[in-house]
Amino acid sequence: MEITEEMLNGWVQLYFWPFLRIGALVMTAPLFNSQAVAPRARLMLALTLTLVLAPLLPKLPPLPAFGAAWWLAIGREFVIGAGLGLMLQLVFEAVMLAGELVSYGMGLGFAQLADPLHGAAAPMLGQFYQICAILLFLSLGGHLRLVELLSDSFHAAPLGGAAPPASSLFAVAQLGTLCFAGALRIALPAVIALLLVNLSFGVMNRSAPALNALSIGFPLSLIVGLVVLRFTLPQLQTALADLLDQAWNYAAGWAGGLH
């Protein structure tokens, strides 16, 4: 069998362009972008998804290699893939923010642990919330829906289309505001309860200065925080499901708006 230059160009066209979008999404999507996941594992996942999805996609008209249109197409695929992954990552950052707000109210802001997902130190309770969010994401089939979103994006925004307009980035910013509101929704019950505890100790300290409010208040606020966490943690599944639904809708609408 003789392999011609046209055959090589056809294979490159078939697998190279989908790999760009899939690789950008794997680098930014939650769970896969963790530093605990080896780069080789991410590369193998991106190659596997490319081999599965590429034959099912519409063919891209040939582009001259290293031309202006070729480089613009590369940048477009990176932007689309990274944007889709970033929209989902915002949900997990919102959960981390909620855990940090609760931990500061409990007095656990000093309890910093090495976060393997981000490669930096983060409050202990924030990591606990994020681990719960990852487990819920997997139990809800989020990793399968992520592959479905990726496949649908190739039909909503086909390969070789126009570059994403600057106005399309507004959808990412708007989703960020919704995720910030979702973080407040998750943390608000515990924050209000801990705020009432701290206010009561402030009043006690003013009325009875002889009492050491710090030695009494810290253990009590920690106990109250754990009790409140026990009753508010089951609501994390509902809040996370709502945020993920909004993220899926925004990501699908954003990809469709690029066509």
Token digits for 58? 């519409």
CA distances from 212 to 83, 198, 216, 218 (A): 52, 14, 7, 11
Q: Is 2 left (phi over 0), alpha (psi -120 to 50) or beta?
A: beta
- Percent of the chain, pLDDT > 70? 75
8 A C-beta contact, residue 92 and residue 178: no
Q: Give pLDDT, residue 251.
A: 81
Q: For residues 56 and 14, what is the distance between their CA atoms, to the nearest angstrom?
A: 10
* pLDDT in the model for residue 115: 57
On the question of pLDDT at 1 being above 60, the answer is no
pLDDT digits (tens, 9 = 90+) for 78-109: 888 888 888 888 888 888 888 888 887 776 66
Report d(CA 73, CA 162) in Å as an integer. 8
Phi, psi of 115 (to 5 degrees): -90, 110
5-40 confidence digits (pLDDT tens):
566 666 677 778 888 888 888 888 887 877 777 788
Q: List CB contacts of 18: < 8 A, sequence separation 6 or more.
A: 50, 53, 54, 57, 154, 159
- The per-residue pLDDT for range 43-66, each reduced to its tens digit, is 888 888 888 888 777 776 666 666
Average pLDDT, the chain: 77
Max CA pair span of the chain? 93
pLDDT at residue 127, rounded to an integer:
80
Q: What share of the chain in percent tops pLDDT 90? A: 0
**Confidence (pLDDT) at 140:** 85
Ranking 113-117, 173-177, 200-204, 250-254 by mean pLDDT, the lowest is: 113-117
Give the model's pLDDT for residue 117: 56
CB–CB of 173/88 below 8 Å?
no
**The predicted structure's pLDDT at residue 158:** 73
pLDDT at position 243, please?
Answer: 87
pLDDT of residue 256: 63
Distances (CA, A) of 117 to 29, 32, 46, 196: 12, 9, 19, 33
pLDDT the model gives residue 113: 58
DSSP 65-92: TTSHHHHHHHHHHHHHHHHHHHHHHHHH
Residue 72 Cα to chain centre, angstroms:
26
Between the alpha carbon of residue 110 and those of residues 103, 130, 140, the distances in Å are 9, 18, 33
